[in-house]
């Protein structure tokens, strides 16, 4: 980040105070990029990060994301709104939720949405910095959205401040309904620098939110902050997905700067706010760039998810062009033999064309099946590559990535041999193996002209994919 340009004034400047020419100049610059994806959600300009408000309302799927449109930096955050009829083709709604209250003046941070009596209720964290020391003060806020996608914020906070014993790192409410109560699951950091997930509840979604209990996950290895908590229900089980920043790597292995993790349990005891027979904490994704996953207990019975293809505290090559970040394909989640599986929703099959993909096709679907105990699948450009290999003797997968002009990054993980389901979308990739038991997601910055596919001891089929 250019710290001379991105001073405190620009990072915190209200949207109404920006010169409209800035966005037009960014749009012109970004139009020349050869790294833009075709069937993944990405920002028009500036930064995209956490998915928010994933919901089904008024006969459409709704999805928001954290946005700062004026540059590829974490500036003053808003909620950009998108809608879809099929979870694949998304269109922008030019009615973002922007910071315009005292209680969200330093950013509309992450949150969720729930259908209440025919209207969509949004619950989110309003970020503020107060006093001479600019101490973080979080407000948990509410808003309603009508059938015309107009958002009206409540004139009072739902939760005015963090509870006793918790720092200003108190955010990302996921709101669900159970019995007579609405429950909010919030990420928190204690004054002793320990991460935890707290719950609040009320019978009236606009009023009366009270601290209920800490969620007992069966582990205390939540690092110094547990953010982006999500609870989902499927296949008679419950899954909790969250981001335990600073989790102890001796107990829970991960390579990224911050992990995205999950725990599966037989049930959630709402009275005790405790998981029943929880599994160990596991990695949600084994790739290089995946974070802040949000789930939706959809009205059709599916458990769906979407994640940010990016990481906090990380710079990307697209930053120099004035944009950063994508959202994953929407995934359907299941519990199989105690493990979480993730697969693209069936609706994505409509984008897979019959025509075989060539090296110059940068949107492609690759199916690869091994016929030996050692095999690999390679995607290569001039000064960049992705290499996925498997060694049966160690039952170990290895994924190597070299972005153009950068050093090689490596991820290794244990698992059985499997066919590979690979989605390439220019500079975005999603890999599914073992039926989605293991996923690998990330960004792959190549030279921009072609991506060659070759393999060893694998049969490979590659097809073109349409843009959304």
Q: Is 300 exposed, middle or buried (0-12, 13-18, 19+ CB in 10 A)?
A: exposed
347-384 b/e (C-beta count within 10 Å ≥ 16 → b): bbeebeeeeebeeebbbbbbebebeeeebbbbbbbeeb
Residue pair 244/195 in contact by the 8 Å Cβ criterion: yes
Distance CA 389, CA 391 (A): 7
Count of other CB atoms within 10 angstroms of residue 150: 9
Report the greatest alpha carbon distance in the chain. 65
Count of other CB atoms within 10 angstroms of residue 119: 14
Q: Which residue out of 50, 104, 172, 285 is catalytically annotated?
A: 50
Contacts of 244 (CB under 8 A, 6+ apart): 195, 221, 222, 223, 225, 226, 252, 259, 261, 281
DSSP code at position 216: B
Nearest to 112 by CA among 189, 200, 196: 200
Which phi and psi angles does 209 have, rounded to 5°? Answer: -70, 125
> Residue 340 has which token pair?
């979480």
> Residue 451 has which token pair?
């991506």
285 is annotated as an active-site residue? no
179-212 b/e (C-beta count within 10 Å ≥ 16 → b): eeebbbbbbbbbeeebbbbbbbbbeebeeebeeb
Distance CA 202, CA 220 (A): 26
Distance CA 43, CA 116 (A): 29
- β strands within 69-118, DSSP E: 78-84, 90-97, 108-116
Catalytic residues: 50
């Amino acid at each position: 980040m250019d710290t001379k340009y991105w001073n405190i004034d620009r990072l915190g400047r209200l949207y109404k105070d920006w010169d409209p020419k800035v966005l037009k100049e960014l749009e012109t610059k970004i139009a020349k990029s050869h790294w833009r994806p075709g069937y993944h959600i990405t920002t028009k300009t500036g930064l995209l990060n956490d998915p928010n408000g994933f919901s089904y309302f008024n006969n459409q799927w709704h999805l928001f994301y954290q946005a700062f449109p004026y540059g590829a930096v974490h500036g003053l955050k808003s909620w950009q709104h998108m809608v879809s009829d099929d979870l694949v083709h998304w269109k922008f709604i030019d009615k973002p939720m922007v910071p315009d209250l005292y209680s969200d003046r330093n950013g509309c941070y992450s949150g969720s949405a729930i259908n209440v009596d025919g209207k969509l209720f949004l619950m989110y964290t309003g970020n503020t910095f107060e006093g001479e020391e600019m101490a973080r003060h979080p407000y948990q806020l509410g808003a309603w959205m009508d059938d015309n996608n107009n958002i009206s914020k409540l004139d009072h906070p739902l939760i005015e401040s963090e509870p006793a014993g918790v720092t200003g790192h108190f955010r990302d409410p996921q709101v669900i309904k159970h019995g007579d109560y609405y429950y909010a699951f919030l990420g928190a950091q204690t004054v002793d620098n320990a991460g935890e997930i707290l719950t609040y509840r009320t019978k009236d979604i606009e009023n009366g939110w009270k601290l209920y209990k800490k969620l007992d996950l069966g582990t205390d290895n939540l690092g110094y902050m547990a953010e982006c908590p999500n609870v989902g229900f499927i296949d008679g089980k419950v899954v909790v997905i969250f981001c335990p920043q600073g989790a102890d790597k001796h107990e829970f292995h991960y390579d990224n700067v911050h992990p995205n993790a999950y725990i599966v349990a037989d049930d959630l005891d709402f009275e005790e706010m405790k998981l029943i027979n929880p599994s160990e904490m596991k990695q949600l994704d084994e790739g290089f760039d995946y974070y802040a996953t949000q789930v939706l207990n959809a009205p059709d019975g599916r458990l769906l998810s979407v994640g940010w293809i990016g990481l906090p505290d990380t710079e990307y090559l697209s930053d120099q062009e004035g944009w950063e970040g994508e959202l994953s394909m929407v995934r359907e989640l299941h519990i199989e033999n105690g493990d979480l599986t993730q697969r693209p929703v069936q609706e994505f099959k409509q984008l897979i064309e019959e025509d075989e993909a060539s090296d110059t096709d940068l949107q492609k679907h690759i199916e690869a099946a091994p016929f030996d105990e050692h095999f690999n699948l390679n995607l290569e450009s001039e000064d960049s590559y992705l290499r996925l290999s498997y060694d049966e003797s160690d039952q170990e997968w290895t994924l190597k990535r070299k972005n153009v002009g950068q050093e090689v990054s490596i991820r290794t993980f244990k698992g059985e041999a499997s066919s590979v389901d690979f989605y390439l979308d220019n500079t975005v990739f999603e890999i599914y193996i073992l039926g989605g038991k293991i996923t690998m997601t990330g960004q792959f910055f190549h030279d921009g002209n072609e991506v060659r596919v070759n393999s060893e001891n694998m049969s490979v089929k590659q097809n073109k994919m349409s843009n959304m």
